[in-house]
Amino acid sequence: MDQQMKILIVDDELVVRESLYHWFSREGYQTKTAKSGTNALEMLEQEFFDTLFVDMKMPKMSGFELLEIVKKRYPETAVVIITAYGSIDSAVKAMKIGASDYLLKPFKPDQLSLVMEKISQQIQLNSEYQYLKGQMDKICRFDNIIGESDPMKKIYSLIEEVAKTDAPVIILGETGTGKELIAKAIHVKSNRNNLPFVPLNCGAFPDSLLESELFGYNKGAFTGASHSRKGFFEVASGGTLFLDEIGEISQKMQVDLLRVLQEKKITRLGDTRQIDVDFRLLSATRQNLERKILAGQFRSDFFYRINIISIEIPPLRERKEDIPLLAYHFLEKYSRETAKNVDTLDHKALESLKSHGWPGNVRELENAIERAVVLSKARTLTPRDFVFLKPDASISSHDKTLSLKDMEKQYIDTILGDNQWNISRSADILGISRATLHRMIKRHNMKKT
C-alpha cells in the first residue's frame, strides 16, 4: 500500500474526525481533516488529496453535494462516503455518481484497511492506464496503428520512407497482423492520398473474374457484360491499388500484371484501345513466396517486380510488449461502442493475455476483448473474462528457449497422458518401438502421475 497517499477526512463530528485521523496517521498516511464541505473545498484549492472520506450528513453542504463538486473539479481524487446503517440506498446512489466506496458507521479498523486496499489498487490501475494512454498518444503517429515494440517502430519509419516514393511494396505477415492497416497507412501518408485506396482480395476471385475486375470490360465483351465497366486498375489510377493475397494469383495473371506494371497501360476486355493508368501497387500475402518460386508455383520475374520493398509484420507472440497497449486500445473502442463502463484490465488479466499464443494475432485479440466487454458485468476485466481463450498447443513450439531434449520430453509426456500411459498405443502414435519408448521414459525420468 502506498503510504505516501494524502487523505482528507471531512466530517462535522469531532469524534469521527479524530478517530479516523488517528487511525490513518498511525498507518503512516499523510492525513488532514475538515469540518465542513466548504472547508474541504478550500483545502482542495491549495493541495492535492488522493482520497477524501466524506460524511454523508453534514449541515449546509451535504456529503453528496461535496462529492459532486469534487468529481467534477478533481476527477483523480477518490471519494469514500461515510454513512450510517439504514441509509444504504443513498450510499448506492453515491457510488453511481462516482464515489469509489462507502463505509457504514460504526466501522472497525479492518473495514478501513479493506477500503484503503481497494482504493490504492484503483489508484494504481488508474495510473498504469494513464501511463499507457500517454504512451499511446505519443506513438500514434498513424491514427490507428497501435504498438511501440521495436519491430513496430521500424515499420513506422519504413512507412514514412516508402510513402514518399511510388515503389511497389509487399507486406508480409500471418493472418490478422495488420497488413491491410499498414497498406492504408502508406497510402494515407503518400501524396496520392486525395485519390482512392482500392483494395482487392485476389484470393476471392477465380482467374477469369479477377481479369475482368482488374482490367474492366466493354459492353458485350462476354455474355452478361450488358454495360461497360471500369476495372480496378483504372479506378485506382492516381491512387493506390492494394492486392491482398497476391500469392493466390495464377501464373497467367502474373504475366499480365507484370506487363501492366511495366507499360502503365491497360486494355479493357472486348476493346482494342489502350488506356494510361497510374496506380501505386501495394500487395500482401501470408504465404512464403520464395518457397512457392522454388516449387515452381510463382514467377520469379513477377516476384522481383512487386518485391522492391518488403515490410514484414512479426506475429503478435513475438512482440508481446504491444499486447497491453492493443488491449487497452480495443477496450476503449468496445466500451465506447457498447456504451458499457468497462475501463480496466487487472494485472492477472494482462498477464494471461501476454502468455496466450495468439495464432489469429491482433484480430484475435480484438475479438477477445470485444467478447469480454460485451459479457462483462464489472468495470475491470479479470482472467475469468478470458477463460474462453484456449491454452494453445502452438505456444510451446514457439517457445524458442525450449531445448530439443525438453521438447521431446514434453511431447512424449503429452502423448502418454492422452493415452493413459498405454505404452503400445503411445509408441504407435510416436512411431517408435515399445522398447525405445521405455528407454526414453527412463532417460527423461518420467513417471505416471
Ligand X SMILES: Nc1ncnc2c1ncn2[C@@H]1O[C@H](COP(=O)(O)OP(=O)(O)OP(=O)(O)O)[C@@H](O)[C@H]1O
Provide the grid cell at 92.
448506492
Residue 180 or 392: which CB sits closer to Mg ion? 180
Report the partner that residue 213 touches, choosing among Mg ion, ligand X, none (CB closer than 5 to 8 A by kind).
none
Q: Is 179 in the site for ligand X (CB under 6 A)?
A: yes
The single residue among 63, 168, 176, 357 that binds ligand X, judged by CB under 6 A, is 176
Distance (Å, rounded) from C-alpha 393 to C-alpha 205? 33
Q: Which of residues 268-297 bind ligand X (CB under 6 A)?
A: 286
Residue 252, C-beta contacts closer than 8 angstroms, at least 6 positions apart: 207
Distance (Å, rounded) from C-alpha 41 to C-alpha 26? 25
Residue 52 or 200: which CB sits closer to Mg ion? 200
Provide, rounded to whole angstroms, the least separation between the CB of residue 172 and Mg ion. 12
Q: Pattern of binders to ligand X over 326-345, x per CB under 6 A?
A: x-------------------
Residue in the block written with cell 495464377: 250
Return the residue nearest Mg ion (CB atom): 180
Provide, rounded to whole angstroms, the least separation between the CB of residue 206 and ligand X. 19
Window of 37-45, 132-140, 172-180, 426-434 that interacts with Mg ion by CB under 5 A: 172-180
Provide, rounded to whole angstroms, the least separation between the CB of residue 8 and ligand X. 41
Q: Pattern of binders to Mg ion over 92-131, x per CB under 5 A?
A: ----------------------------------------
Provide, rounded to whole angstroms, the least separation between the CB of residue 254 and ligand X. 20
Report the partner that residue 178 touches, choosing among Mg ion, ligand X, none (CB closer than 5 to 8 A by kind).
ligand X
Q: Pattern of binders to ligand X over 134-173, x per CB under 6 A?
A: ----------xxxx-------------------------x
Residue 159, C-beta contacts closer than 8 angstroms, at least 6 positions apart: 142, 182, 185, 186, 189, 311
Provide the grid cell at 290.
520464395
Residue in the block written with cell 513496430: 152
The single residue among 37, 168, 178, 357 that binds ligand X, judged by CB under 6 A, is 178
Residue 202 or 437: which CB sits closer to Mg ion? 202
Provide, rounded to whole angstroms, the least separation between the CB of residue 250 and Mg ion. 20
Provide, rounded to whole angstroms, the least separation between the CB of residue 333 and ligand X. 9
| Binding footprint of ligand X, residue count (CB under 6 A) | 17
Distance (Å, rounded) from C-alpha 357 to C-alpha 395? 5
Residue 37 or 176: which CB sits closer to ligand X? 176
Return the residue nearest ligand X (CB atom): 178
Q: Is 175 in the site for ligand X (CB under 6 A)?
A: yes
Report the partner that residue 176 touches, choosing among Mg ion, ligand X, none (CB closer than 5 to 8 A by kind).
ligand X
Q: Is 180 in the site for Mg ion (CB under 5 A)?
A: yes
Provide, rounded to whole angstroms, the least separation between the CB of residue 129 and Mg ion. 30
Q: Which of residues 355-374 bind ligand X (CB under 6 A)?
A: 362-363, 366
Provide, rounded to whole angstroms, the least separation between the CB of residue 242 and Mg ion. 9
Chain residues that interact with ligand X, rule: CB under 6 A: 144-147, 173, 175-181, 286, 326, 362-363, 366
Chain residues that interact with Mg ion, rule: CB under 5 A: 180
